[in-house]
Structure 1
Amino acid sequence: MLPGYRLLRKTSLILHALWSPFQNRMTSTKSQLLSFQNRLMTLIQECRCEGTPPSGSSLFIPEDTFNELALSLACLQYQSNPYLRGYLDRFHSPPTLWSHWKEIPGIPTHVFKAYDWTCLEENERLRVFHSSGTTGEKNSRHWHSHDSLKLYEASLLQWARQHRPWAGDRLPFVHGVFLTPPPHQVPHSSLVHMFDTLARTCTASTTHQFVGEVGKDGMWQLPLREVAESLQRQTQAICLFGTAFLYVMLMDYLQEKSMTLSLPKGSLVFETGGYKGQTRALSKADFDRAVTKTLGVEPQNILGEYGMSELSSQAYPIQQQPGTAHAEPWRFHFPPWARHRILCPEKGHAVNIGETGMIQIIDLANVWSSMSVLTEDLAIEHGRSFQWIGRATGAELRGCSLSTDHFT
């Protein structure tokens, strides 16, 4: 055997000896993550009221159960994600030293833009959701596998069924109109995937269609005349689904053409996704007034949701019930397998009820990415719910944000 070959062979054996234990640990951790996901999936599907449910929801997970799950998942993600492990070792402490989920630090959403922040191997990454982002911003990336998408959809559907328009024995509309582009045109949009998942649950007596388009510049748009004429022809209750900026595009067109629609009684408007710098932004009160004026939808039938591509769970307003005063700001709550905290941007501690801060979300359904996400959104703390205000300004972000260098 040639000396050079013997050296290469020896080096190979040494590297194999060093890598094998690490590879075995990774394989074991992957197995544990999958077991955690299966346990959580069962918990979500069988989640029922125990005692007095919070915030009017019929679903409830006891605090000690949530705490145990959160700490277990934190340990598994620490072992699986080298970026997370390096960050915690350098700036915080390992999860084994934590005793409560409120000790788990939030991972800023901008980290999803700089790294593939995932516990999935490359060959497991089936789908990626990109943040829509404010115009001109780099998009974040949230990777999913076949299994993680199943969990995402289970979480989505179970919580949506607790809120309008999906709550109840039957849907209150006969036709759903989604103002976004269809799924095949925007495969990386978590919002459209959410809409498509909800649309697929419609009964045989309920139809739906996606009417939006992707323009040559890559931006979402509407065939405004066709959509307006189609809405004019509706004779039974419908539900419109879309982002705030798509509604503004449609309403501005109707005003420009001096058109006022009167959608059939019982029709609904479901708004989510914000403005993304694509149109003028309206306050909730102004948005509601414009919808009522141009579309003829009653204020109590204007619905909403809070979500983001970096999460696997969504928040809904707790007061979305018939007869709710539309002028009251929405107060959002997450499902029992998620929690929120409102943090002081300068100090990082939780604010008191009634105070404003940055939103941190602990989402157990984010098994394969980051269970703890620190958003760039401001909100007012209300205990079991929060009132979303909007994106933080540069000053607040500088006060609480971490450089991507912290994760290398």
Structure 2
Amino acid sequence: MKQNIFDIKTEEDFRLACVETFLYQYKNVEVYRKFVDYLNINPSSINQVLDIPFLPIEMFKNHLVLDKNAVTENYFQSSGTTQMNRSKHYIADFSLYEESIYKSFEQFIGKPEDYIFLGLLPNYSENPHSSLIYMIDFLIKKSNKPENGYFLYNHQELFDLLQTISDKKVILFGVSFALLDFLDTLESLNISISESQNLTVIETGGMKGRKEEMTKDELLKIFQNGFKTDKIYSEYSMTELLSQAYSLGENIYKSPNWMRILIRNTEDPFSYVDDGKTGAINIIDLANKHSCSFIATQDLGNVQDDTFQVLGRIDHSDIRGCSLLVS
């Protein structure tokens, strides 16, 4: 590509990068080319972002979505049971993912080197094909703090550690049900975390089928009370992406300059709704250079100016993601 996606500054930069990426992927990603051709779209007619066709995310379950110039056996796989048809996202260039992780985290949270990273998640060796675990493992390596670690199965050790490092900047990553399980353990032991301005909790979703459903606002309030901090953040990504959006509260997300959320009409998938209206989420992720950067998801949400909300799943879509990470 002519332009480094991480240098995008303006809307025109973004438009040009999108059109360039579209043309490259139309030429080099077979399943995407067939999809565009099936829609009877002339690729040379595409010159605006809203004209670009979005590949249904289900294609990652049944097709190889990969640049023909890339040779790789490395992939991320969506969480799930052995009975489920799980998505595979083949990764031709891990350095692109790592740069996306670093720059997005730095933009919204801070420099990884300044934090201790703790995970209520399985470790990398238990889940080598999880994009989320790869991300946290990468941040842990960048941080290089002796206290870093995973504590999914050891709540008492995590509690003791949090008490001893309350004077240091700490990020606790966790899927939602694992964070709730940890707080339930503390309640059963009749102990509580000391209040700390240095603790930031980042929940990564994952409730479906694991615990009683609740709204995101209810969940964040429970975490604020249980972890004794207002810094309850959220991260939004998925197996089929190489970029992350972050919410610093109230379920309001922002994405980095090389990632964009569009809201399509659920009744007409080739049209878009107005700002503030709920629809299905389309994602542009220009870090997906060697797969597909234009993905139509099964998530519901809305966009307001440069922020967006995630409001759940389209009815009848598969249970996906983090809630099945430790099945």
Question: Structure 1 residues 79 and 271 mapped into 2: Cα distance closer, same or farther (>3 Å)?
Answer: same
Q: 5 Å matches for 1:124-163?
A: 124-133=71-80, 137-145=84-92, 148-163=93-108
| Match for residue 179 of structure 1 among 114, 120, 126 | 120
State the partner residue of 2:177.
Answer: 245
> Equivalent residue of 2:32, what SS?
helix
- Counterpart amino acid of residue 268 in structure 1: T
> In structure 2, how many angstroms separate the alpha carbons of the residues matched to 1:231 and 1:257?
16
Cα distance in structure 2, aligned partners of 1:117 and 1:89: 16
Gaps of 5+ in 2: 319-327
Q: Which residue identity is paired with 1:83? A: V
Return the structure number with greater helix share.
1
SS in 2 for 1:201: helix
Which of 268, 278, 281 is residue 356 of structure 1 equivalent to?
Answer: 278
Matched, 1:226 2:157: yes
Distance 2:149 2:68 in 1: 31
- CA distance in 2: counterparts of 1:71 and 1:282, whole angstroms: 40
Q: Work out whether residues 112 and 141 of structure 1, in 8 Å CA contact, stay in contact via their aligned partners in 2.
A: yes
- CA gap of 1:332–1:136, structure 2 versus 1, over 3 A, is farther
Of residues 273, 279, 295, the one that matches 2:205 is: 273
Q: What is the CA RMSD across the aligned residues, in angstroms?
A: 2.5
Q: CA deviation at 1:117?
A: 1.3
Residue aligning to 2:215: 283
The answer as to whether partners of 1:164 and 1:303 remain within 8 angstroms in 2 is no
Q: 1:315-354 maps to which residues of 2 (within 5 A)?
A: 315-317=245-247, 320=248, 329-348=250-269, 349-354=271-276
Give the aligned partner of residue 371 of structure 1: 293
Residue of structure 2 aligned with 1:112, choices 41, 60, 70: 60
Contact 1:73-1:364 within 8 A present in 2 as well? yes
Alpha carbons of structure 1 residues 341 and 235: separation in structure 2 relative to 1, 3 Å: closer
Shift of the 350–264 alpha-carbon distance from structure 1 to 2, 3 Å rule, reads: same
Counterpart CA distance in 2 for 1:353 and 1:235 is 41
Aligned equivalents of 1:107, 1:144: Cα separation in 2: 18
Give the C-alpha shift of residue 130 in structure 1: 0.9
Match 2:131 to one of 173, 179, 190: 190
Structure 2 letter corresponding to 1:183: Y
Matched position secondary structure for 2:292: coil
Which residue, out of 66, 79, 84, partners 2:27?
Answer: 79
Q: Any conservation in 2 of the 1:343–1:350 contact (CA below 8 Å)?
A: yes
CA separation in 1, counterparts of 2:256 and 2:166? 35
Cα deviation, residue 142, structure 1: 0.4
User: What displacement does 1:108 show?
Assistant: 1.4
SS at match of 1:282: coil
Aligned-residue offset at 1:283: 2.3
Using the TM superposition, give the Cα deviation of residue 378 of structure 1 relative to its aligned residue in structure 2, in angstroms: 0.4
Q: Does 1:210 align with 2:170?
A: no
Q: Are the aligned partners of 2:177 and 2:210 in contact in 1 as well (CA < 8 Å)?
A: yes
Q: Give, in angstroms, the shift of residue 303 of structure 1.
A: 1.5
3-state SS, counterpart of residue 305 of structure 1: strand
Deviation, structure 1 residue 380: 1.6
Query: Per the alignment, do residues 314 and 289 of structure 1 end up closer, same or farther by CA in structure 2, a change over 3 Å counting?
Result: same
Partners of 1:191 and 1:280 lie apart in 2 by: 24
Q: 1:265 to 1:100 in 2, by over 3 A?
A: closer
- Rg bigger for which structure? 1
The letter of the residue matching 2:273 is V
Letter in 2 for 1:283: T
How far off is 1:339 after superposition? 1.7
Higher-RCO chain (CA-CA 8 Å, sequence separation at least 6)? 2
Q: Which residue in the other structure is 2:239 paired with? A: 309
Whether the 8 Å contact between 1:269 and 1:302 is mirrored in structure 2 is yes
SS at match of 2:136: helix
Deviations 1:78-133 (A, max 9, x none): 122222222211223132121212111211111101112111568x2142101225
- Percent identity of equivalent pairs: 28
Out of 258-267 and 127-136, give the one that drifted further: 127-136
- Give the SS at the match of 1:162: helix
- 2:10 — aligned with what? 62
Q: Is the 8 A contact 1:133 1:276 kept in 2?
A: no
The verdict on how the C-alpha distance between 1:263 and 1:166 changes in structure 2, with shifts beyond 3 A counting, is farther
For the 8 Å contact 2:166–2:198, the answer to whether it is kept is no
Compared CA separation, residues 363 and 315, structure 1 to 2 (3 A) = same
Structure 1: runs of 5+ lacking an equivalent: 1-35, 48-59, 213-220, 321-325, 399-408
Q: 1:236 is matched with which residue?
A: 167
What is the CA distance between 1:386 and its match in structure 2? 1.0
